[in-house]
Structure 1
Amino acid sequence: MSTSKTQALDRAFGHPQGFLGHLGGLLMAWGNAATEHRLVEVARLTPEETALVVGPGPGVGLKAAAEQAGRVVGVDPSEEMLALSRHRCGDGVELRKGTAAETGEADDAVDVVLSVNNVQLWENRPAALAELFRVLRPGGRLLLSAHEKWLPVTRHELADEAAAAGFTDLQTWTWQPPGLGTLAAQLRARKPA
């Protein structure tokens, strides 16, 4: 793939910015919606819980989480995605610039971490998993989903990395979104109580 095509794809989906980032966000909202809703369903959020959504993109899963959890925070490095999330979710969520490795949350502050099609963008997965472990309360849950074909490691290797960060009760599976969605590799893990 040419450098200009790679850069355009990165501006649309990897590190969304400008017009291409806005367009990429609209495509993400359409293409990831089923997976976003499915992961929120698997999380079984309650009104007493705080959820952290890493890389909410245009905010589809963020909004779904806000309909169930008492407090919802979204962190994304892209100003364009934060603006789309703000537009979709209104004042019902907290949004800030951040990454999986730098969430801005305090120790033991959240009950659930959710992330869809973002883990493949983490520059340092061990640091990101350590950060997510740190911000989860004891007994907290981590739920990740990514297009299996875009994961830089297998879902089982990702589970091994999560275990190395301290997570337990690891489960991985694949899920086929309805329609034209690509196969999703999914992971669920807990921070020990």
Structure 2
Amino acid sequence: MIYIDTIIFDLGGVLIDWNPEYVFLKAFNGDKEKTKWFLENICTSDWNENQDAGYPLAQATEDLVLKFPEYETYIRLFYGNWEDMLGGAISGTVSVLKQLIESKKYKIVALTNWSSETFPIAQKRFDFLDWFEGIVVSGDEKTRKPFKEIYNTTLNRYNIKPEQAIFIDDNKRNIEAAKALKINGIQFKNPEQLIEDLKTFNIHIS
């Protein structure tokens, strides 16, 4: 049996519901096809992840407007209305987090791809972000998952042994990067599945 003493949580998609569709479905009058096309071709996830690694939001917006001037109004909505992309907390996972902390058996930290410019908005909205021993925010570190530097920063900063840690993330790519550094991984799909997968590490949540 693997001995686990640390659990590392991703935030967006695991503890916090975040989705650009909340803004763009409204902007495109509920047209799912237009929304999907726009987010796959204009304000892409790769483009947004560049800001997660520290690129300024205002500059990224101007860069994209220059490239796609015909979509300027919609491009400016991405960070202009960013707060509306935040849904609520994923309550089932927050409950898991609470039980893990209350057990006092584990070091609990977070590792998130998030712009340092928008992260304070989430901190004000979600009080459970204060529960962590620490949070590594990609925008502060000027790098992001899945690059090994940000995992090593997390391990070193909080004195974590990779073989004794579990990393929970909804993105398979990020889990595979963690496993390459000998960190155990659980790909998050929903709170019920997370509870089941934690049992394989002898961690039982009621």
TM-score (norm 1): 0.41
**Which structure has the larger Rg over C-alpha atoms?**
2
